[in-house]
Structure 1
């Protein structure tokens, strides 16, 4: 698991609030552990696993932020409304989330999806 201080000071993350970080770190770690069980995962540098976890944490936080209305094109509260130019909304499906988490992990780790024994 990665610590908030590493996320903030080394990775340079500033999206995830410290109070919410642990839950996202736990989820990112679970995804990475799954990759390690089913693929060959090799670090490419000294802190590459922690960097991969930080990228995955940011992605998980982003998906939750969008789901909670953070990227809404328009919002109305009572008689007050606000709208932005509507662009393409991100794909929030589980498959899209899994692709993005895998992509984040691959930024810092070599992940081989073939068979180890070559059969």
Structure 2
């Protein structure tokens, strides 16, 4: 596995731990629908939350959350619609971003953006 893939996988694990510690229940990780993938599907209160995780080892090209492009948002929305249909879910839905930013010493900072974009 390439180093950037390992970093991304580690970031997803850290994000899931962070969400659990924040009171979320993790429903699925790396859930796929067609060619679209949702990094984390979680629930809290009355919401199912579709979470995109972005992990970076620096900010020279921007913050991790800056890399959730409009086309990525559309793929996430499409996958979420598939999940909602397959599970006959009728409640509230939200799209969040969790960014994990590592510094040169290997320490990380998590930024959780709730309601990051509309579905």
Identify, as 1 or 2, the structure richer in helix: 1
Q: TM-score, normalised by structure 2?
A: 0.32
Identify, as 1 or 2, the structure richer in strand: 2
Larger Rg over CA atoms = 1
Q: TM-score, normalised by structure 1?
A: 0.32
